[in-house]
Amino acid sequence: MATLNPPLKHRIFTSYGEPLEFKRGLEKVPVKKIQRKLNVRWKHIVLFFLAIAGFFFGLMKGYLYLINCDDFAVKKSEIACRQEFVGLDIRALLNASQLHNLLLLDIGSLQDRIEAHRWVKEARLRKVFPSTLKVEIKEREPAAVLKAGESFLMIDRDGVWLERLASSEDVNLPLLLDSASFGESYQDKLALAWKCLDALTPEQRLEVEALDLSDPGSVSLYLLGQMTRLVLGGERFSERLAFIRTYKDTMEVQNGPLEYIDLRFDDRIIFKPLPVVEMAAVPNPREEVN
């Protein structure tokens, strides 16, 4: 009997051989690249070094031309500042420096020389090609007059001496006094003085004639035209000065002129009347501390 589908055991399979594999596409055939060797000859090396030498030679010639060209010589200097005498001093310094080529100008060194001027706080220099130098000056601001011995020195907030004065009355600035002539703790005493002045109101600052910094950590004030020393301590300056201004006249009516009023202690007021013998010859606060 014929069958269309013979039993499994009678089916013919391929003999043991390579298994069939499914392939999506044909494998790519590798392409062989032809590698050529570059033959470097001595002529190539010579030409390479000649090209480099020519390049640097051209740079050198260009540099020499620029530093010797009159187009880049400093022909003009512009100075911006508020004080005329400061501008004249800086102009004289620039002229003495013999500025030549703007490209070769050492801005840092020149800036240091300008800032060595006692009135110059900061200097900004800028090259404006082809031949201009611009200088902007930030000047120091006078802040007080310092009495050191018999000398009156005008200083800024950094404590830099600006000018020597014949008298503290030559300028409308507070006078700073110290029994040690500021030989010790100079910056600490200045910091305390600025702390006190900054804490006062504009009206109170106008009344202040002198600050005595002889006592460590304490400020004593002298008001304009008055001989009483007002001891304020190291804090609450405006509040304590306002309190003294309120009751000072009453205290003097009851006790006579006062030598000092001490408000360093919150729970008490310490004051001392001026002795009758000394009332006729009261020393000026500008002269009593040396």
Tell me the pLDDT tens digit for each residue of 102-113: 888 999 999 999
For residue 51, pLDDT beyond 90 = no
**CA-wise closest residue to 50 among 38, 61, 42, 62:** 42
pLDDT attached to residue 28? 61
CB of 279 closer than 8 Å to CB of 257: yes
Q: Which of 108, 149, 112 has its CA nearest to residue 127?
A: 108
Place of tokens 């911006």: 80
Which of the pair, 230 or 37, is modelled with greater confidence? 230
Rounded (5°) CA angle 33-38-39: 145
d(CA 230, CA 250): 15
Answer whether 228's CB lies under 8 Å from 258's CB.
yes
Full-model pTM:
0.72
Q: What pLDDT shows up at residue 158?
A: 96
Q: What structural domains and CATH numbers belong to the chain?
A: 70-139 (3.10.20.310), 144-288 (3.40.50.10960)
Across the chain, which distance is largest between two alpha carbons, in Å? Answer: 162
Other Cβ atoms less than 10 A from the Cβ of 219: the count is 25
Other beta carbons within 10 Å of 243: 15
Q: Is the peptide bond before 130 cis (omega within 30 degrees of 0)?
A: yes
> How large is the angle between the packed helices 237-255 and 186-199, nearest 10 degrees?
80
